[in-house]
Amino acid sequence: MFTVKADQMALLATESMQRFEERVMSHIGRCFPLAIKQFRRAELVDLIRQGVKHGRKRGLQSEQELVLYIDLSIIFGENFERTYPRAGEILSNEALSGPDKIELLLTFFNDVPSSSSPKSAD
């Protein structure tokens, strides 16, 4: 049987996170080409890491859920949960699963007029 030491697990987690960050940066470049030009690489990595941190605190776990959370922070601003109180209510509702939260957020933001967005996506 193989034994994986704590430092080996930490290295695997770091490499996994770096691959995730690269995938998300590529996604942002495809979906938000103008927005990506606003960020230096280090700022973009920080935005992604903060999105993962905040998303996980709110019960989002899958890569898809976290990427959608990051997308919303690009489109509506990093503080979209405070700017749009309904979004904050959805995300803080512990009775909802991650997929349910994302579905409700997408429905909510689909009904928000684009002119009310504090930060334009493109």
Report residue 90 as tokens.
């959805």
- Sequence spans of domains, the chain: 9-113
Give the 3-state DSSP-derived string for 6-73, with helices as H, strands as E and coil as C.
HHHHHHHHHHHHHHHHHHHHHHHHHHCHHHHCCCCHHHHHHHHHHHHHHHHHCCCCCHHHHHHHHHHH
Give the pLDDT band of residue 90 (cuts 50, 70, 90).
very high
In the predicted model, what is the mean pLDDT of residues 31-40? 88
Residue 101's nearest CA partner among 50, 62, 43 is 62
The model's confidence at residue 5, banded by pLDDT at 50, 70 and 90, is: low
Cα distance between residue 66 and residue 98, in whole Å: 9
> Of residues 103 and 1, which shows the higher confidence score?
103
Does the pLDDT at position 70 exceed 50? yes
32 has a pLDDT exceeding 80: yes
Q: Are 84 and 110 in contact (CB under 8 A)?
A: no
Residue 8 in this model has a pLDDT that exceeds 60? no
